[in-house]
Amino acid sequence: MRKSGLPGHVGIIMDGNGRWANIRGLPRVEGHRQGVHRSKDIIDAANKAGLEALTLYAFSIENWRRPDLEVYTLMQLLDMYLRTEIDFLFENGITFRVIGNRQRLSVGLNFLIEKAEELTSQNRGMYLNLAISYGGRDEILRTIRKMALEGYDMTKIEEHDFAVNLDTGQRDTVDLIIRTGGEQRLSNFLIWQAAYAEFYYTDTLWPDFTREEFYMAIHNYNQRERRFGTSAEKVSF
């Protein structure tokens, strides 16, 4: 793969864990477990490909409405991931960050998140954002409230002022969004950041999404002409 053709920031809506389990007559939790394993493989592939940033949609703010047992299981899997995989991220130079509404998370989970972020904060490789208790609309509202409390004159803010205060900070622009599982919608994911993103949809369920298909999505992106609202003649980058 030509590094010059890589998107700088890729977001992935990891859809299809439950259906993957149902097809096999397994509990939904097993689909989520397999999804966690798949995430590690794709994180490694993205890092080795040379991406600047990868954002994975792990748990939406709407997911809190799922059955209590499923929510509990998902939180336990996140807890397990933070305990077992952070050494892998650290050793591979990946900077880890959680984006989303952390007030909905437990004290214990917030402690593990902060510990993981601190451990990897000095790394200089790919940035990995894990979207937990995340919603694009919620992020925008939280950002407005935060800026107002910090004394910004809300009548004079510019796009850049707002963007750097989002959960994603300086890496506010997403170049490519991949969605597995066959659905073709954004589902409240990175609404501001995805304003000019390219999209890649696949019927492949997340636990079956291989690094080969990930590279195929990157190649597909590389073949596109990005115009950013202008004509092809005026695009010079």
Q: What are φ and ψ of residue 226, in 5° steps?
A: -95, 125
Written as one string, the DSSP assignment of 83-120 is: HHSHHHHHHTTPEEEEES-GGGS-HHHHHHHHHHHHHH
Q: What is the CA radius of gyration of the chain?
A: 18
Residue 236 falls within a domain, yes or no? no
79-129 confidence digits (pLDDT tens)? 999 999 999 999 999 999 999 999 999 999 999 999 999 999 999 999 999
Average pLDDT over residues 184-189: 96
Residue 136 falls within a domain, yes or no? yes
**Active-site positions?**
15, 63
For residue 31 the two structure tokens come to: 């689909």
Q: Which positions ≥6 away from 19 have C-beta within 8 Å?
A: 31, 181, 205
Q: What is the reported pLDDT for 231?
A: 52
Residue 179 is classified by DSSP as E
pLDDT above 80 for 34: yes
Which CATH number fits the domain that encloses residue 201?
Answer: 3.40.1180.10
Residue 48 falls within a domain, yes or no? yes
Q: What is the reported pLDDT for 171?
A: 77
- Average pLDDT of the chain is 92
Q: What is the reported pLDDT for 170?
A: 79
For residue 1 the two structure tokens come to: 């793969």
pLDDT above 80 for 4: no
12-26 confidence digits (pLDDT tens)? 999 999 999 999 999
Q: Which positions ≥6 away from 59 have C-beta within 8 Å?
A: 74, 78, 100, 131, 132, 133, 134
Beta-ladder partners of 127: 53, 95
Residue 228 falls within a domain, yes or no? no
| Overall domain count for the chain | 1
pLDDT above 80 for 38: yes
pLDDT above 80 for 172: no
How far apart CA 85 and CA 173 sit, in angstroms, is 26
Average pLDDT over residues 166-184: 93
Q: What is the reported pLDDT for 1?
A: 44
* Residue whose entry in the numeric block shows the structure tokens 């799922």: 66
Q: Quick one: pLDDT band at residue 2, thresholds 50, 70, 90?
A: very low
Q: What is the reported pLDDT for 236?
A: 47
Q: What is the reported pLDDT for 233?
A: 54
Q: What is the reported pLDDT for 96?
A: 97
How far apart CA 1 and CA 207 sit, in angstroms, is 24
Residue 142 falls within a domain, yes or no? yes
Residue 114 falls within a domain, yes or no? yes
Q: Quick one: pLDDT band at residue 228, thresholds 50, 70, 90?
A: low
How far apart CA 59 and CA 20 sit, in angstroms, is 17
Domain extent, residue 196, equals: 3-222
